[in-house]
Amino acid sequence: MVDSAAGDTLGDPAGGEVGTRTVDDPPPAGATPDRGEDAVRAGAGPTTPSSLTSLIERLVGDRWIAAEAVLVVLAAVAAWSIRFVQDDAFISYRYSRNLARGEGLVFNAGERVEGYTNFLWTALHAVPESLGWSTPLFSQVIGIVTMVGAVLVTGVLARRLFSSRSFALLAQAVLVANVSFLGYGTGGLETMLQTLLVLGVSVALLPYGTANAVRTGWTARRVTAGLVAGLAVLTRMDSAVLIATVVLVHLVAVVREPRPGDDGPSSAWRPLATAALAIGLPAAAVVVPWLVWKWGYYGSLFPNTLAAKSTANPIVPFLYGVVYLVCFLLSYAAFLLIGRARRRWRSFLAVPGVAQVAWVVPVWFLYICVVGADFMEFRFVVPVIPFLALFAAYLLDPITTVLRQALLVGTLLAFSAAHAVAPTILPYPVLTFTQISHWPSSSPTAWQAMGELLNEQFPGGPDVPGQPVIAVAPLGVIGYFADLPTVDMLGLADATVAREGATFDLYYPGHVRMATVPYLEQRGVDLVIGQPRVVRAEPERTSYRLSEVTNLWPAADLKLLGDQARIIEIPLSDTQVWLVVWLEPNDRVAEAVERNGWRVLPIERTCDPADQPNWFARAAVGRATCG
């Protein structure tokens, strides 16, 4: 069924249009024809369209499939043009590599710690590792494919809710205009796969019991939803929050559905149980074996990352989450839509089925606050951006004047585009795409180059006798390319650091613990990379202060460093050196130092306030070393 160029318009009880419906569909509740559009179709009256959806209908005609195809191609091209891979993705890649090598899903051979949160995604990437393909490139391609799928499924949901191809196309256009959504079409993580699977469950189960709901085939739809829900949880465990919301809304709608001879709530128990089992049993068939395996393999049902990212004070992370969400809305100029939202939110929720679908947004926003948000470019919001796009499209649809509409849309697009091009967006509590992009990179000071340099100096992989053990804070890129025995200083892949590491004075998502000096000595760490520190080469320098070392190894008490600890200066260019703490004697490290002429300098047990020139820098490194 397609929209006709002469289709009736969907009235909005609050004023304005919602789009156009197909001529064969019954008008939704509250629908009234738009007389201005009728006049235009009659060949008289104004020629300016009264809504974006009517404009889309004029431009597209009956070429809806072609229009949607053009939109998703443009989305894929745009996502590819800003492609990147972030550091955390390489944590999963290293697990995938060890799985392909026969070591199991471990970061270091023999250490069973679940330092990832994306089982299905990590397992999938054992394929390129086994075949010798580029794993980062593989993840980017899969990410864009799943992004295209998410755009298409969003269109399906919008058409079902609004009975309008033109509104669906508008909602899809709003979605792909969001740079956070486009950016995580790549990124290397499971974000877009999670988004697609959650959308799939939503489309399978919602809306239910409304005028625009699917009438038949509910058993098959529920079984499919259960299977897809199981895959979503395997992709990312916290998908359960979104899935549970959708399923609960569906089951409530089942209970409330009028039935012939309805004698009260007791008559709803059988259909409720039938629906719950049709969804729950397939989901359990997927999830339960995985949980049993996790318990036997890792000794826990929850990933180690949960402990690593947990803090004793839940108030600060919650407030950080609130700021995170506020900044997301501000960064996309949502304040420009406040007036329209005040006038139209009731009519939006009055559209049959919309209120059911909309529940996922506040529930997910609350979850974001409870877990303390994230530090990456609004990655946590991405799974609900398709649902937000429906509301944004509804608000943008009415055209008051062409000039005002053009200014509004142009301003919103400019704010969105800033997410792709701005090197930093202060004071937002996230790192931008520019800042979290670590692959591909040809810079000699990039983390990729650092990992490759270590691999070149200590070739052969982690099983070569005498290989140095490294400790890294950003675990992914350097750990993956170095391919050496590696200790995670932030505790994502290290159970001891996650629970017993030194705590940071300043809350930052995913960075609440730091490996201590005694623990790294116990683990036999030779080279402490910490937070990679590149400084200007100073040939006249003869030592480094403890307060300078805290910049690469924050939070821990570095006064506990042994007398044998030194700083190695590894030249990355003619003017820049990479600082690494040589913690324990190692023959292969000594050979590399002699072979390359690297300078080795002592660490002075002194502190200088100038090494942390402002409050933020002092809070970031903590008071354990210099008080």
- Residue by residue, DSSP assigns 425-483 as -TT-SSB-HHHH--BS---TTSHHHHHHHHHHHS-S-TTSTTPPPEEESSHHHHHHHH-
pLDDT < 50 stretches in the chain: 1-46
In 207-231, which positions are buried (b, 16+ CB within 10 angstroms) versus exposed (e)?
bbbbebbeeeebeebbbbbbbbbbb
| Helix, strand, or coil (residue 287) | helix
What is the C-alpha separation between 153 and 172, in angstroms, rounded? 9
pLDDT value for 10: 44
Peptide bond into 314 cis (omega under 30): no
pLDDT value for 435: 87
pLDDT value for 166: 96
Residue type, 447: W
Q: Dihedral (C-alpha) 74, 76, 82, 88: value to the nearest 10 degrees? A: 160
pLDDT value for 31: 38
| 40 touches 46 (CB < 8 A) | yes
Which tokens in the block code for residue 451?
Answer: 């990992």
**pTM over cut 0.75:** yes
pLDDT value for 424: 56
In 70-84, which positions are buried (b, 16+ CB within 10 angstroms) versus exposed (e)?
ebbeebbebbeebbb
pLDDT value for 507: 86
pLDDT value for 267: 73
